[in-house]
Amino acid sequence: MSVIVEKLTKRFTAGGSPAVADVSFEAPTGAITTLLGPSGAGKSTILRLIAGLETSDTGRVLIDGTDCTELPVQQRGIGVVFQSYALFRHMTVRENIAFGLSVRRQSKAEVEARVDEMLRLVQLEELGQRTPAQLSGGQRQRVAFARALAIRPRLLLLDEPFGALDTRVRVELREWLHELHTLTGVTTLLVTHDQEEALEISQHVVIMSEGRVAQAGAPADIYDRPATPFVASFVGGNSMLKGQVREGRAEMGALIVAAPQSAREGQAVQAFVRPHDIKLAKKPAGNGLNGNAAVRVERLKSVGGYVKVLLKLPNGDTVAVEVPRGEFEELGVVEGDSVHADVRSARVFVGDFSI
């Protein structure tokens, strides 16, 4: 069941700036689509508009080709999981999962069978008689998924479902959700502000900024070809460098990369460089445009299998580089040293821009 959002606009205060402004996108059938963006970008509001929990000022929501804009929440066939567990505290896990089913007038045996199936699906077969207070945060969230999926929704909406959990559980559950989705195949729309989660888990990403869609596409597309300075600054951990076009090249202090073909002499540029796209060497490499750029190692930080190197350019700009630990040891530099930096690739934007 695909979801098509057409020109949705929502203002919470008359005359104020819209929380969602003329938003259109498609969430493809059977895929996980992520709405990714900073806080206040309008992600949750879009999800609530699709669920029918808010009414839009203008625009339409089509689920599998049917206009659902006016349809009451219960008739949309949607399962929702929020960040806060929203489980009933006085009910057992089984009762929580059965909740939506009982309302649908199914026989007791049918309900019990479906609850068993859901408990197996979320791997909590042993915990059906516990109450939410007797579960860990991760387990509670799995119950919330079981409850949302029990009604056989045609669409699953997830609003920061792992937002309240610690990093380790969050990463585990991300993998778990991926497997769950492979088993169920339910069209899913996930709201997150965590780009790693978005890039890892989804087949389609919609980047939001200030109530609007900044870019939509496959995760690799967005990562490799950010369409605007905002997207480049938000995704990929890029460092941003300012500079100018000179002789067909974008010069940012000591670092130089090829300028886009449309660039004219003297134009301002903004270059976004990913942390693994700078090659460091003790001696000038001489094979890149800027193989001889000497820059200062400002700070070093070892993080697991790689080392984060913060470089300071002669113009005062800083650039973050990630070097695999083995490579770093061969490089043999300490804070305060000078190294030669070669930018292997950068995304360059020319002209007037704002982030």
Give contact residues for ligand ATP (rule: CB under 6 A): 12, 19, 37, 39-45, 193
Q: Between residues 58 and 129, which has the closer beta carbon with respect to ligand ATP?
A: 58
d(CA 82, CA 71): 21
What does the block give as tokens for 111?
Answer: 């309900």
Cα Rg of the chain, angstroms: 25
Phi, psi of 195 (to 5 degrees): -65, -30
For residues 115 and 101, the answer to whether their CB atoms sit within 8 Å is yes
Q: DSSP code of 82?
A: -
How near is the Cβ of 86 to ligand ATP at its closest, in Å?
Answer: 15
Closer residue to ligand ATP, CB minimum distance, 43 or 340: 43
Is 190 or 263 the residue whose CB approaches ligand ATP more closely?
190
Q: How many CA atoms lie within 13 A of 253 on its CB side?
A: 20
Report in angstroms how near the CB of residue 7 gets to ligand ATP at its nearest. 17
Q: How far is the CB of 308 from ligand ATP (least distance, A)?
A: 26
- Closest CB to ligand ATP among residues 235, 339: 235
Burial 320-338 (b: 16+ CB within 10 A, else e): bbbbeeeebeebebeeeee
Minimal distance, residue 32 CB to ligand ATP, in Å: 18
Pairing of strands 58-63, 32-36: unpaired
- CB closer to ligand ATP, 208 vs 256: 208
CB of 212 to ligand ATP, least distance (A): 11
Nearer Cβ to ligand ATP (83/244): 83
Q: Which is nearer to ligand ATP, 36 or 241 (CB)?
A: 36
Least Å distance between CB 156 and ligand ATP? 17
- Closest by CA to 24, choosing from 211, 282, 291, 243, is 211
Nearest to 220 by CA among 232, 205, 239, 231: 205
Closer CB to ligand ATP, 210 or 322, in the complex: 210
List Cα–Cα distances, 100 to 86, 91, 153, in angstroms. Answer: 13, 13, 11
Give CA–CA dist 260/191, Å, rounded: 34
Angle at 35 between CA 120 and CA 237, to 5 degrees: 105
Minimum CB separation of residue 258 from ligand ATP in Å reads 35
List of residues 6+ apart from 165 with CB closer than 8 A: 137, 138, 141, 173
Compute the least distance from the CB of residue 297 to ligand ATP, in Å. 36
